């Protein structure tokens, strides 16, 4: 368990916090946010690598705020692995043991088990400078776990890897977490990590947490326009309700089930259905004109102008071809009220 209470870190050009965050025992938690929003600083505060200005950090019910990194019971893996280039794979893995209750038989047994589990036995005598990206990450993970930390901190460990290694290491994190039940706090830019690994996520903005929840909730029901933009809603439009009709900018839409006071409607581009003009789009069909098409290969991104509003949509390129959609062409838009999220 990691409990961060009222944490602030003041640096010359940046202020983190106040941040409150609890990662439950055995949870896999992802921190997401734009570059420079303070994700790494949170991780470094937990690891004891940065001076905390205010607040308290608990790891497994122990107040570790004033403790040096090696006494906090945390393991950390960085994006660039930060392995010691002058040491072999084996020496890198054993490195931390000397600072954690000395080199004892428990530590050696644990390292042997990790070497086995992470498929590193044939690499032990190799210099780490000769390893592939995926192999380096597995060594970094073994080194971080060698001291039996109660929590594992991962700072964008997949970002520098080729897509094929990324999938392999992501699977490794997933199985390791489910087998050991270790508490994991991971910084990532990648929404796939959030969806496939995390039980919960937090979105950071300018040193503050803007929303915490399951990946599904945060992606489908963002609490703020910032989170909506960040998770790729693309259509975040001023909205008001008049006589039971939702007026989104200049568009009249059927009212979604959500109630309460709202100022914005957020609609994911994949929830905007673009249909040929002749197609029966039903009562909700909104006439529009295609302003632009960007072909991304498998998908195409469309900007459609409807009643003076630019609505973003994505569709399969095959469907774009089939329907012979062209820039300037007339279309009908259909948006299911259930896919309109009010903020
Ligand atoms: N030791 C430091 N001294 C001064 N400023 C720092 C220090 N460490 C981080 N910062 C600044 O704090 C801000 C947040 O940095 P941080 O590395 O936490 O961002 P991040 O969200 O992890 O970004 P990225 O996704 O690009 O890694 C940045 O503006 C950074 O320049």
Q: Residue 215: helix, strand or coil by DSSP?
A: helix
pLDDT on residue 53: 95
Is 105 buried (19+), middle (13-18) or exposed (0-12) by CB count in 10 A? exposed
Structure tokens at 148: 């039996």
Q: In this predicted model, what pLDDT tens digit does every residue of 90-138 receive, in sequence order?
A: 999 988 777 665 555 677 888 888 898 888 999 999 999 999 888 888 8
Band (19; pLDDT cuts 50, 70, 90): very high
Which atom of ligand 1 is closest in space to residue 187's alpha carbon?
22
**161 or 94: which carries more pLDDT confidence?**
94
Residue 158's SS3 state is: coil
Q: Which atom of ligand 1 is nearest to the CA of 43?
A: 18
DSSP 12: T
Q: Which residue has the higher pLDDT, 242 or 187?
A: 187
Report the chain's mean pLDDT, rounded to a whole number.
89
Q: What is the pLDDT of residue 111?
A: 87
Q: How far is the CA of 52 from the centre of ligand 1 (A)?
A: 14
Ordered domains of the chain (ranges, CATH): 2-220 (3.40.50.300), 233-342 (2.40.50.100)
Shortest CA distance to 199 belongs to which of 212, 208, 180? 212
Looking at the CA of residue 50, tell me the nearest atom of ligand 1.
Answer: 1
What are the pLDDT digits (tens) for 39-84?
999 999 999 999 999 999 999 989 999 999 988 999 999 887 788 8
Distance CA 218, CA 212 (A): 7
Atom index in ligand 1 nearest the CA of residue 12 equals: 4
Q: Which residue is closest in CA terms to ligand 1's atom 26?
A: 35
Cα of 311 from ligand 1 centre, angstroms: 35
206: pLDDT strictly greater than 60? yes
Share of the chain above pLDDT 90, in %: 59
> Ligand 1 atom closest to Cα of 42?
18
pLDDT of 257-312, one tens digit each?
A: 666 667 899 999 999 999 998 655 555 588 999 999 999 999 999 999 998 899 99
CA of 38 to the centre of ligand 1 (A): 6
Q: Quick one: pLDDT at residue 41?
A: 96
pLDDT number for residue 259? 62
Q: How confident is the model at residue 166 (pLDDT cuts 50, 70, 90)?
A: confident
Substitution site in 11, 32, 230 for ligand 1 pocket (most atoms within 8 Å of beta carbon): 11
pLDDT at 236 over 80: yes
- Name the closest-CA residue to atom 29, ligand 1: 36
Residue with CA at minimum distance from ligand 1 atom 28? 36
Q: How far is the CA of 334 from the centre of ligand 1 (A)?
A: 42
Separation of 13 CA from ligand 1 center, angstroms? Answer: 9
Residue pair 285/274 in contact (Cβ under 8 Å)? The answer is no
Question: Which of 8, 9, 15, 39 has most ligand 1 atoms within 8 Å of its beta carbon, as the pocket-test mutant?
Answer: 39
Q: Which two tokens stand for residue 328?
A: 């300037």
Are residues 28 and 184 in contact, defined by beta-carbon separation less than 8 angstroms? yes
Confidence of residue 245 (pLDDT cuts 50, 70, 90): confident
Query: What pLDDT, on the 0 to 100 scale, is given for residue 267?
Result: 93
Task: Give all strands (DSSP E) within the chain, no chain letters.
Answer: 2-11, 14-23, 28-32, 54-59, 62-63, 74-78, 151-155, 183-187, 200-205, 208-213, 235-242, 245-248, 251-254, 264-267, 272-276, 286-295, 299-306, 309-316, 330-335, 341-342
ipTM confidence score: 0.97
Pocket residues for ligand 1 (CB within 6 Å)? 11-14, 33, 35-41
Hey, whose CA ends up nearest to atom 13 of ligand 1? 36
Nearest ligand 1 atom to the CA of 14 is 12
The protein residue with its alpha carbon nearest to ligand 1, atom 27, reads: 35
Dihedral of CA atoms 16, 20, 23, 29 in degrees, nearest 10, equals -50
């Amino acid at each position: 368990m990691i409990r961060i209470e009222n944490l602030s870190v003041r640096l010359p050009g940046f202020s983190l916090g106040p941040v409150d965050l609890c990662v439950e025992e055995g949870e896999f938690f992802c921190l997401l946010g734009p570059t420079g929003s303070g994700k790494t600083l949170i991780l470094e505060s937990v690891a004891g690598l940065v001076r905390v200005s205010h607040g308290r950090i608990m790891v497994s019910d122990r107040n570790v705020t004033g403790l040096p990194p090696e006494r906090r019971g945390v393991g950390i893996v960085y994006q660039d692995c930060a392995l010691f280039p002058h040491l072999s794979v084996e020496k890198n893995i054993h490195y931390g043991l000397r600072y954690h209750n000395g080199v004892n038989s428990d530590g050696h047994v644990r390292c042997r088990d990790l070497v086995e589990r992470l498929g590193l036995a044939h690499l032990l005598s190799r210099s780490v400078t000769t390893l592939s990206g995926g192999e380096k990450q597995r060594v970094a993970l073994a080194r971080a776990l060698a001291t039996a930390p109660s929590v594992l901190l991962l700072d964008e460990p997949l970002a520098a890897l080729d897509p094929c290694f990324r999938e392999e290491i992501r699977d490794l994190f997933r199985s390791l977490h489910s087998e050991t039940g270790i508490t994991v706090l991971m910084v990532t830019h990648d929404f796939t990590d959030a969806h496939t690994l995390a039980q919960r996520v937090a979105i950071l903005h300018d040193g503050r947490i803007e929303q915490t929840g399951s990946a599904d909730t945060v992606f489908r029901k963002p609490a703020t326009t910032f989170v909506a933009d960040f998770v790729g809603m693309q259509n975040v439009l001023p909205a008001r309700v008049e006589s039971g009709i939702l007026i989104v900018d200049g568009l009249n839409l059927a009212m979604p089930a959500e109630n309460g006071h709202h100022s914005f409607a957020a609609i994911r581009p994949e929830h905007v259905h673009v249909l040929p003009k002749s197609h029966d789009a039903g009562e909700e069909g909104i006439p529009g004109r295609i302003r632009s098409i960007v072909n991304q290969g498998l998908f195409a991104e469309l900007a459609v102008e409807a009643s003076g509003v630019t609505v973003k949509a994505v569709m399969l390129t095959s469907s774009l071809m089939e329907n012979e959609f062209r820039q300037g062409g007339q279309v009908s838009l259909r948006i299911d009220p259930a896919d309109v999220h009010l903020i």
